[in-house]
Amino acid sequence: MTSPRRPNRHYPYIDRGPAIYLDSFATIRRESNLAGVPASAEKLAVRMIHGSGQTDLVDDLVADDRLVPAARAALEAGAPILCDATMVARGVTPSRLPANNEVLCFLNEATVPGLASDWGTTRTAAAVSLWEPHLDGAVVAIGNAPTALFHLLEMLIDGAPRPAAIVGCPVGFIGAAESKQALVDFAAEHGIDIPFVTVRGRRGGSAMTSSALNAIAQEEE
User: What DSSP element (H or E) covers 198?
Assistant: strand 196-199
User: Which H, E and C letters describe 44-106, residue by residue?
Assistant: HHHHHHHHHCCHHHHHCEEECCCHHHHHHHHHHCCCCEEECCHHHHHCCCHHHCCCCCCEECC
Angle between helices 42-52 and 17-31 (to 10 degrees): 110
Question: Length of the chain, please?
Answer: 221
Q: Which of 50, 134, 151, 190 is catalytic?
A: 50
What are phi and psi for residue 203, nearest 5 degrees? -70, 155
10 catalytic, yes or no?
A: no
b/e code 143-175 from CB counts within 10 Å (16+ = b): bbbbbbbbbbbebbeeebebbbbbbbbbbbeeb
Nearest by Cα to 88 from 182, 202, 214: 214
Angle between helices 206-217 and 67-76 (to 10 degrees): 70
Q: Which residues are known to be catalytic?
A: 50
